[in-house]
Structure 1
């Protein structure tokens, strides 16, 4: 996108076309104006439009331009934090409610894909959280225990079963989550956009918001060439926030994350590497993730940015890692490379904010955008429609607080990933 092959890589090359959209060039009215064309904004637009609401969505660049079009494509349940930490962080009132909602989030994603016939390479054979050593296995066993006491369909697999499913001897075991799966993330975002337009929503791309205000009890959202007057504003810009809601970005520490895609593997290799197409990631602090796309490309990623010296360092590390994990691959050739930013909050949990009268938004998905974004978009729609009260929301209302030492931490993460990848996986 925007003539940058490293922004969306494989996903832009293989996703169905986005709907035809244009910049906002007039002054219009709406019931709700949504700022941001990622999963949250698109889900909210779709659910509102299906109920007859006059919805306008403004996207600064293109549909799925932010994290929605760049991520690995794992449809995860819950968040990074342990289940028992939800009530500790959010309080009992919100903690278990948020955990249940996010735990069931992948089912909503499947429902939307089926209902709207979205072609996005959906795979529903689960995900595998892979244990690195005994400590990694201990972590997964505890995570399983906490989810299982809540009735979630998680299973701890031993090393032999993990090897059979993945095709590598590298892991001490894994945690299989059958709620989860994989998809083509940009294709899913574009599919939601098509569905929202079909339901009656108006989508405008190339329309960054430059100012916002209030006139006569209406919220005014302005772009360079037009404005929307609405009763409600949904802020769905998250880690890529700029303009009037740049504080949402400043509340999060950006963690860079890259992906590399191999050329399609042979049929023989596909029988030995992820034959059931589970999505995988490991328990390392500087984690790795991998999954297969429908054409048989192995998509491999980790923390880091593909720019400057990082490009050569991370690609060399990826080749070494894949050689260790899957020696049957031989010499690896990558046909696509891309990276983006994960917005991390201080407790690795999302936020609910009110930015003014009838101006609201969820943010801070911490690398788990597909399911939470789809879910919270629906929640925002239900809240605006009056189906639920504020006390029924899954998160408490909080003030925006800038992350401490944010620039320093972001520089540390990018440089630290290079150092870690330069030094590891050497034979």
Structure 2
């Protein structure tokens, strides 16, 4: 996208083409204006249009330009925090509703893909959280206990069982979540857009919202080429947001995350590494993730930005780490490399904000955008349709926070990842 091979990498080169769109031209009246065409915005737009609403979706760049087109493609349940933390952070009622919504989110993704025949390489064989050492094993055992209390289909694999599924003896065990899986993330976003257009949504790309004003009981959003008048506005920009509603973005700290993709591995290697094609990530503080794409490329990622000295440092580290995890992999080359930003909140949970009268947003997915974005997009739609009042939402209505020294924290994360990867091996 935008002639930048480091922005979307493998996903841009292997996704089906985006549906044809054009910039906003002239003035349009709609029931709802959706700002941002990632998972949340497109899911909301699709739900609204299927319910009979007239929807215009405005995207500053291209469909899936933000986190939706850059992530690893793991369709996971829940968030990073343990299930029991939800009621502690959100209160009993909101915590229970949020946990139920997020636990069921992968199922909604699979249902949406099937319903709209979205070509995005869905693999529903689960994900594996790989335990590094005794502390990592204790972490996944506790997570399994807490999800097990809710009847979720999760279980802890022994070191021997994990080695068989992963193709590596590097881990002390793994947590298998059978709700989860992998997709081609940009292809999913483009498929959602195609479904939304078929349902009647007008998607306008290269149409950044420059100003918003309340006029005659409605909102008037202006872009460089036109304007949309709408009764409701759903802001769905998350970590890539900005004017005229920057507060959701400002409460997040950006964490960079990169991915490298090998050429397709040999048939023998593909048979020995992740033979079940689960998606994986580990329990380290500076975590790593890995999975296969449809063609047998191994996609390997971690915290860090591929710019400046980071590109060389993280690439060299990724090669060392892969050889450590998979000693039989042999000579490693990468044919694609890319990175993006994750929006982190202080409690690692998403937020629902009423930015103004009839202007709503959910933001702060903390690296879990696919399932939560799809699910919360539908929640936003149902709220604007009058089907779910504020008191029944899965998140309380809150004001955006102002994190302490966010710019300094972001610089620390980026530099710290370079130091850790430059000086250390994998363990």
TM-score, structure 1 normalization: 0.99
Q: How does 1:69-108 map to 2 (within 5 A)?
A: 69-108=69-108
1:68-89: CA deviation from partner (whole Å, max 9, x where unpaired)? 0000000010000000000000
Q: Structure 1: give runs of 5+ residues left out of the alignment.
A: none
Aligned to 1:367: 367
Counterpart CA distance in 2 for 1:40 and 1:426 is: 34
Aligned to 2:50: 50
Shift of 1:250: 1.0
Instruction: Kindly report structure 1 stretches of 4+ aligned residues shifted beyond 4 Å.
Output: none
Aligned to 2:352: 352
Counterpart CA distance in 1 for 2:241 and 2:151 is: 37
Aligned to 1:66: 66
2:128 equivalent to 1:165: no
* Matched residue count: 427
DSSP 3-state at the match of 2:77 = coil
1:342-400: CA deviation from partner (whole Å, max 9, x where unpaired)? 00000000000001111001000000000000000011111111222111100000001
Counterpart CA distance in 2 for 1:245 and 1:158 is: 48
1:53-107: CA deviation from partner (whole Å, max 9, x where unpaired)? 1000000000000000000000010000000000000010100110011000000
Counterpart CA distance in 2 for 1:405 and 1:423 is: 26
Counterpart CA distance in 1 for 2:322 and 2:368 is: 24
Q: Tell me, yes or no, if the aligned pair for 2:324 and 2:426 is still in contact at 8 Å.
A: no
DSSP 3-state at the match of 1:301 = strand
Aligned to 1:300: 300
Counterpart CA distance in 2 for 1:404 and 1:53 is: 40
Aligned to 1:264: 264
2:181 equivalent to 1:207: no
Counterpart CA distance in 2 for 1:262 and 1:424 is: 22
Q: How does 1:261-340 map to 2 (within 5 A)?
A: 261-340=261-340
Q: Structure 2: give runs of 5+ residues left out of the alignment.
A: none
Aligned to 2:400: 400
Aligned to 2:7: 7
Counterpart CA distance in 2 for 1:97 and 1:33 is: 26
Shift of 1:14: 0.2
Counterpart CA distance in 1 for 2:79 and 2:196 is: 27
DSSP 3-state at the match of 2:244 = helix
2:251 equivalent to 1:243: no
Aligned to 1:19: 19
1:259-305: CA deviation from partner (whole Å, max 9, x where unpaired)? 00000011111000011110000000000000000100000000000
DSSP 3-state at the match of 2:33 = strand
Shift of 1:426: 7.6
Deviation larger for 315-324 or 383-392:
383-392
Q: Tell me, yes or no, if the aligned pair for 2:181 and 2:278 is still in contact at 8 Å.
A: yes
Counterpart CA distance in 2 for 1:404 and 1:152 is: 36
Counterpart CA distance in 2 for 1:216 and 1:109 is: 38
Counterpart CA distance in 1 for 2:422 and 2:199 is: 50
Counterpart CA distance in 2 for 1:211 and 1:239 is: 19
DSSP 3-state at the match of 2:245 = helix
1:100-159: CA deviation from partner (whole Å, max 9, x where unpaired)? 110000000000000000000000000000000001000100010000001111010000
1:145-181: CA deviation from partner (whole Å, max 9, x where unpaired)? 0000011110100000100001000000000000000
Shift of 1:16: 0.2
Counterpart CA distance in 1 for 2:407 and 2:297 is: 35
DSSP 3-state at the match of 2:299 = strand
Counterpart CA distance in 2 for 1:216 and 1:271 is: 63
**Cα RMSD for the two superposed structures:** 0.8
Shift of 1:401: 1.6
2:87 equivalent to 1:123: no
Shift of 1:242: 1.4
Counterpart CA distance in 2 for 1:230 and 1:293 is: 40
